[in-house]
Structure 1
């Protein structure tokens, strides 16, 4: 069972409709989403929660706690007791906090227990309908009129942030970042033409691209997306090394018992193999991931090393 924070009281008020004993035995678990509702982290986190909760015979309450580059919600999980009642669903931005913020109350590695990745999704460079129609024309105009271009950014240290800085370095362009509290509000402003550009998760931008509300200039991945076969990769357009894949995962607080980690990981892996989950992720421009906790931990270590290189190259400093 999965319920939102807003629906908690309603659910409790209607508990008489279910057997009292069953309700009493079902553990209430908080799933903290440190980003705005409607963004990729929120949507994918809820998708998995809907499968994981009943498999574990638990009630998962989804709470959106956005702000401070996803650190507000993450900090709450870091402070939580490792008793299996509080989890964090986040994206790659989780490992970047200390690179972009002067004061972070937790260590993204030492203060959390990695459980599993959920999914991964390529990034896509999008622009409002007011921007040029092709990537070469866009780059030329960015060089000619640099003050007219800004990038919407879902959060400091996000994969979109790293990809944006790398794009500017590779193209010799400059543009300020406009920071938002999540992907959804950032894309909304690009659609409205308030901000001309964004490097967004494919899943979050897909419907706007297919509806013609934004332009798609390049897939920032190793290959084209089957959902957007006519959109070339950045590499195909002469911009090598612009391969940025967003990933989503699940963590618990530091000290989470190994048996709890394994039990939750097993339900996540089972969900990732479920046809309905796979189809829903595909429609979102994402791909399910199945891996054990140790593999997720090793993946995180490799991602940190890559992020460190990008940060140094782009000169990103804590703000």
Structure 2
């Protein structure tokens, strides 16, 4: 593991203490922070990542440049960050899929947990089962399951990526409902949802924020949210528990990582900055528009959450028969 010398760490922190001290001008001459989003533009990871990156750039006075590096189930962009110097100038914004890389792919050039430094969990968001109105029944979740059992070939699922929370919840739903239905994986939420809207695939378990504009325009039909409670953004959509599947609960989350070996002072400064941004009413409102809620959690708490989540997701993947491809 590479350890930064004090001089290097001080340079890396140039932009960050300015935030806490209210002196963004001190950061003006620092080099930009490169934020890698390993998913396609327009999806939930991209939108939520840019909300944070834009505001952090404004607050620190140092440019935060967001780059989309999609492909291979979000591993292309993640691999770039894993290879970067741990100086706080190259960061990864990804979702829960970050933990699943080796469970869905045989050749991954990094360890999704040990080769990264957890910095902050940004936000959480509900998942919703949606369908194209022309290709799904106008009824509740029970009516959908009955139609799928009667004609399984008519009801393929779109999936944002192998190993995503949407993928895990889709496979769990299929198993609990006794369905054998095709799941088609895409390179991100946006292209997957586009095909559902076009009727190329009938169904998707999607981030609520991504689906909301289409639900309100009647371009999509909602069947259930995979949360313990109904969402304040769409209270008319019942939960899976209300539909008779109480153990079918999955929540999306989004996080910020750096390469392994980042100095604690850099991690803590970044974490504090993220939490300050997440507490701002304007940012909370923008996240609400995406069906998401900010998370107020220190870096150690995020690391503990990752450990628990990785164990849970591995168990779900095993139960669903998800194997590396």
Please say if residues 29 and 86 of structure 1, whose CA atoms lie closer than 8 Å, have aligned partners that are also in contact.
Answer: yes
Kindly report structure 1 stretches of 4+ aligned residues shifted beyond 6 Å.
21-24
Corresponding pairs, count:
299
The alpha carbon displacement at 1:24 in A equals 6.8
- Of 83, 100, 104 in structure 2, the residue corresponding to residue 100 of structure 1 is 104
Structure 2 residue aligned with 1:118? 122
- CA distance in 2 between counterparts of 1:178 and 1:308 reads 21
Alpha-carbon contact 2:28-2:61 (below 8 Å) kept: no
Could you tell me whether the CA contact under 8 Å between 1:220 and 1:234 is conserved in 2? Answer: yes
Residues 140 and 116 of structure 1, relative CA distance in 2, 3 Å threshold? same
Offset of residue 22 of structure 1: 8.2
What SS does structure 1 have at the residue aligned with 2:183? strand
SS at match of 2:39: coil
Structure 2 match to 1:88? 92
Quote the RMSD (CA, aligned, Å).
1.3
- For 1:29, the equivalent position in structure 2 comes to 33
Deviations 1:25-44 (A, max 9, x none): 13211100000000000000
Give SS of 2:157's match.
strand
- 1:233 pairs, out of 235, 239, 246, with 239
The match for 2:319 is 313
Per-residue CA deviation, residues 131-186 of structure 1 (Å, 9 max, x unaligned), is 11122121111111111111100000000000000000110011111111000111
Q: Which residue of 2 aligns with 1:16?
A: none
d(CA) in 2 for partners of 1:171 and 1:178?
Answer: 19
Contact 2:27 2:60 (C-alpha < 8 Å) held by counterparts = no
TM-score (ref. length: structure 1): 0.92
Q: 2:195 aligns with which of 167, 189, 197?
A: 189
Q: Distance in 1 between matches of 2:233 and 2:54?
A: 25
Contact 1:271 1:277 in 2 (8 A): yes
Give the drift of 1:23.
9.0
**Once the 2 structures are TM-superposed, how far is the Cα of residue 246 of structure 1 from its aligned partner?**
0.1
Q: Name stretches of at least 5 consecutive residues in structure 2 with no aligned partner.
A: 1-24
Which structure shows the higher strand fraction? 1
Residue matched to 1:3: none
2:75 is aligned, of 71, 92, 105, to 71
CA contact (8 A) 1:190 1:196 kept: yes
- Provide the rounded CA distance (Å) in 2 between the counterparts of 1:242 and 1:157: 17
Whether the aligned pair in 2 keeps the contact of 1:82 and 1:254 (CA below 8 Å) is: yes
Q: Secondary structure at the match of 1:302?
A: helix
Instruction: Report SS of the residue matched to 1:230.
Output: coil
- In 2, Cα distance between equivalents of 1:24 and 1:269: 22
Cα distance in 1 for partners of 2:293, 2:28 equals 36
Aligned ranges 1:159-170 → 2 under 5 Å: 159-170=165-176
Partner of 2:58: 54
Aligned residues of 2:117 and 2:258 also touching (Cα < 8 A): yes
* Deviation for aligned residue 1:56: 2.6
Measure, in 1, the Cα distance between the counterparts of 2:237 and 2:58: 39
Other-structure match for 1:38? 42
Give the conservation status (yes or no) of the 8 Å contact 1:52–1:264.
no
